């Protein structure tokens, strides 16, 4: 008897609870509260912080050391994006230099697969309009032109590998700085090894990355009258990754990546079945500390 009465009380209370929910739901449905749209600029900082946590987590899952993170903030006065009325963060991601390439080589080492899987999986979880620059760097051994070409081939090798793994849509740019922007002294093997690297630069749009890159101090960009003193102008070129199972129309795409210098130029022929060169270019001048890019299509 007690059990039966308790059950009836429970059923009655559940009925009251459901009635309250129905009433609340009806009142919410009748509410005139407007829906609040979230603008892209309002989420960039959250996405920036999520990106770091995700890359750390994915690195751990792949059994590799997490990358080094370097954070920068580009003022609105430098990125000049009218629809982003805030300073924008840029995340520079550097994995171990020994993972990617041997000395004077552009073929990826087997150890790089875990890193590339980490980056690809992270990109699949990004907003579709995220921008990534793949920047190739070299040590100081060899000529300016040779190292520009080597850095570009290394960046392209990474892009091709990401295409084979498969990533979501993203704005991806390739750029080579050759030996112009070292992060360590080239007087020792350890320093040269650190300078042989590929870096990933992430932001909500390409403009803040280009603005930050234009502010870099180039060791070989100096008005000293030497041939290498003109190594100040670089070009970032957009690429489209042809992911597995996807067909891409390359009929209207440029057929090469070009890096234009005052006294030289480097070109890398393409397309391939994995990477198609896009139509967007960004010119970066390290002497004038400016970048230029065509207006949006």
Q: For residue 243, give the CATH number of its domain.
A: 3.30.1330.60
Q: Tokens representing 18?
A: 């459901």
Binned at pLDDT 50, 70 and 90, residue 26 comes out as very low
Q: Tell me what pLDDT residue 109 has.
A: 83
> Which of residues 204 and 169 earns the better pLDDT score?
204
Q: Could you read off the pLDDT of 173-197 as tens digits, one per residue?
A: 999 988 888 888 999 988 888 888 8
Question: Residue 74 falls within a domain, yes or no?
Answer: yes
- CA 181/CA 116 separation, integer angstroms: 23
Question: Residue 15 falls within a domain, yes or no?
Answer: no
pLDDT above 70 for 155: yes
Q: Tell me what pLDDT residue 35 has.
A: 57
Question: Residue 217 falls within a domain, yes or no?
Answer: yes
Strands 233-241 and 275-285: antiparallel
Q: Got the DSSP string for 8-63?
A: HHHHHHHHHHHHHHHHHHHHHHH--PPP-PPPGGGTHHHHHHHHHHHHHHHHHHHT
> Which of residues 6 and 262 earns the better pLDDT score?
6
Q: Tell me what pLDDT residue 231 has.
A: 67
What's the first-to-final CA gap in the chain, in angstroms? 78
**Burial level of 166, CB count in 10 A (0-12/13-18/19+)?**
middle
Mean local confidence (pLDDT), 202-211 = 95
> Which of residues 244 and 155 earns the better pLDDT score?
155
The DSSP letter of residue 109 is P
Q: Tell me what pLDDT residue 296 has.
A: 60
Question: Residue 279 falls within a domain, yes or no?
Answer: yes
Question: Residue 26 falls within a domain, yes or no?
Answer: no
> Which of residues 13 and 208 earns the better pLDDT score?
208
Q: Got the DSSP string for 204-262?
A: SSHHHHHHHHHT---TT---SSSGGGGTTEEEEEEEEE--TT-----TTS-SEEEEE-S
Residue that is written with structure tokens 């870099």 in the block: 216
Q: Tokens representing 173?
A: 């740019």
Mean local confidence (pLDDT), 231-241 = 83
Mean local confidence (pLDDT), 151-159 = 89
Residue that is written with structure tokens 């790089």 in the block: 112
Binned at pLDDT 50, 70 and 90, residue 116 comes out as very high
Q: Which are the contacts of 164, defined by CB distance < 8 A and separation ≥ 6?
A: 244, 274
Q: Tell me the pLDDT of the chain averaged across its residues.
A: 78
Question: Residue 211 falls within a domain, yes or no?
Answer: yes
**What is the residue range of 217's domain?**
39-292
Q: Tell me what pLDDT residue 206 has.
A: 94
Question: Residue 122 falls within a domain, yes or no?
Answer: yes
Q: Tell me what pLDDT residue 48 has.
A: 96
pLDDT above 60 for 78: yes
Number of domains present in the structure of the chain:
1
> Which of residues 289 and 231 earns the better pLDDT score?
289
pLDDT above 80 for 98: no
> Which of residues 175 and 294 earns the better pLDDT score?
175
Question: Residue 147 falls within a domain, yes or no?
Answer: yes
């Amino acid at each position: 008897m007690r059990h039966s009465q308790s059950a009836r009380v429970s059923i009655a209370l559940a009925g009251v609870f459901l009635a309250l929910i129905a009433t609340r739901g009806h009142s919410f449905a009748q509410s005139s509260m407007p829906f609040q749209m979230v603008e892209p600029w309002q989420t960039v900082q959250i996405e920036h912080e999520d990106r770091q946590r995700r890359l750390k987590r994915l690195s751990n899952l792949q059994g590799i050391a997490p990358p080094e993170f370097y954070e920068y903030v580009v003022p609105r006065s430098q990125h000049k994006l009218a629809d982003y009325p805030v300073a924008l963060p840029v995340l520079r991601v550097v994995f171990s230099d020994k993972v990617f390439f041997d000395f004077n080589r552009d073929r990826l080492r087997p150890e790089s697969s875990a890193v590339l899987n980490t980056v690809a999986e992270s990109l699949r979880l990004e907003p579709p309009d995220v921008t990534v620059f793949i920047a190739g760097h070299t040590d100081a051994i060899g000529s300016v032109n040779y190292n520009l070409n080597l850095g570009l081939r290394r960046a392209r090798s990474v892009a091709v590998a990401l295409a084979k793994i498969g990533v979501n849509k993203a704005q991806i740019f390739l750029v080579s700085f050759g030996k112009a922007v070292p992060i360590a002294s080239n007087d020792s093997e350890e320093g040269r090894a650190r300078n042989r690297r590929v870096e990933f630069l992430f932001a909500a749009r390409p403009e803040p990355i280009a603005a930050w890159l234009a502010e870099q101090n180039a060791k070989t960009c100096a008005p000293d009258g030497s041939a290498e003193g003109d190594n100040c102008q670089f070009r970032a070129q957009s690429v489209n990754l042809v992911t597995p199972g996807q067909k891409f129309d390359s009929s209207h795409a440029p057929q090469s990546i070009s890096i234009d210098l005052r006294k030289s130029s480097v070109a890398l022929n393409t397309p391939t079945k994995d990477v198609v060169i896009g139509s967007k270019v960004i010119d970066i001048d390290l002497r004038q500390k400016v970048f230029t890019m065509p207006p949006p299509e």
